[in-house]
Amino acid sequence: MSATDFASLPQQNVLVKIEDGIAWVSLNRPSKRNAINPGIVFEMVQVLDVLEADDSAKVVVMTGSGDAFSAGMDLKEYFREPDAGSPIARERLNRANSAWQWRRLMHYPKPTIAMVNGWCFGGAFQFLCACDLAVAADDASFGLSEINWGIIPAGIVTKSVAAALQQRKALYYIMTGDTFDGPEAEKIGLVNFSVPRAEMKPKVVALAKKLMEKNPHVLRACKMGYHYARDMTWDMAAEYLTSKLDAAKFRDPEKGAVKGMTQFLDEKSYRPGLGAYRRD
């Protein structure tokens, strides 16, 4: 058994199960509303390593056990206690947290969906925004509550929110700390869909299945292309994306572009405008 085996996962602060290609990853401190403590941080890093290498996990869904998605960073175990301890341990914790919450997650080689099942505050916005797509329950409650206890939304929260929301909305929620519900989160672009709670999981499964019909190698290149090109000049982005397209075609083990073209132009067996080519 290696450190990247599924069986090596502690399954304590983070629960993971894989069903029909979907890896369900749940922050698991329901009695603390899934507030992110060092236990979650270090286990999440391990979970992302394991799922990256596990071929049975095609799409990763991030959610929370119980009624909360996540109440953000744990004020006691992530801030007060480490702040009073060794500076090196403090730095390592920050680094590990940045790793799972956005550095790794944003460029994760597999598609990721956040399923916001309840409370979502502060630091939870980091991994919510780093997931590719997001579905919320209508009665989920979101808030940038940092202002309410005297800090700014730090880590990468403010930058994540600035990328996802319009300026007026972002500043309103940053400066007031007001909560908002799932429909508002959909309206302002923080999640793709807000649905009644009973429809949330089926919606996520349907979305995951749609992604599983696509070429996984190209999906990964699409994500990376999006995130990197966004911060480049237009000329640089054109160069980079053209090279990325060539590299993706060259490295694609299933040679999707050839299949797609053959099935459309020669076999006339599908319409690329209306669905994916046959991957068999």
Binding test (CB under 6 A) with ligand ACO, winner from 69, 121, 127, 173:
121
- The answer to the question of residue 145 lying near ligand ACO (CB under 6 A) is yes
- Least Å distance between CB 1 and ligand ACO? 34
Amino acid at 269: S
Residue selected from 43, 74, 132, 186 as contacting ligand ACO according to rule CB under 6 A: 74
Binding test (CB under 6 A) with ligand ACO, winner from 123, 182, 216, 256: 123
Counting contacts by CB under 6 A, is residue 64 touching ligand ACO?
no
Tell me if 184 contacts ligand ACO by CB under 6 A: no
147 touching ligand ACO, by CB under 6 A: no
Is 50 a residue that touches ligand ACO (CB under 6 A)?
no
Phi/psi of residue 113, nearest 5 degrees: -130, 130
Binding of ligand ACO at residue 38 (CB under 6 A)?
Answer: no
Work out whether 132 is an interface residue with ligand ACO (CB under 6 A): no
Distance, CA of 107 to chain centre: 9
Taking CB under 6 A as the binding criterion, the range among 38-46, 70-78, 94-102, 225-233 that sits at the site for ligand ACO is 70-78
CA distance 231 to 226: 9
From the CB of 81, what's the least distance to ligand ACO, in Å?
A: 11
Instruction: Identify which of residues 9 and 185 has a Cβ nearer to ligand ACO in the complex.
Output: 185
Q: Is 203 in the site for ligand ACO (CB under 6 A)?
A: no
List the structure tokens of 55. 């071929």
The residue range among 17-25, 104-112, 115-123, 181-189 that interacts with ligand ACO, by the rule CB under 6 A, is 115-123
Is residue 272 exposed (0-12), middle (13-18) or buried (19+ Cβ within 10 Å)?
exposed
Which of 71, 93, 191, 205 touches ligand ACO by CB under 6 A? 71
Binding flag, residue 35, ligand ACO (CB under 6 A): yes
Two tokens, residue 54: 């596990």
> Applying CB under 6 A, does 161 fall inside the site for ligand ACO?
no
Task: State which residue, 76 or 255, has the beta carbon closest to ligand ACO.
Answer: 76
Q: Which is nearer to ligand ACO, 27 or 51 (CB)?
A: 27
Which residues here bind ligand ACO, judged by CB under 6 A?
32-33, 35, 71-76, 119, 121-123, 145-146
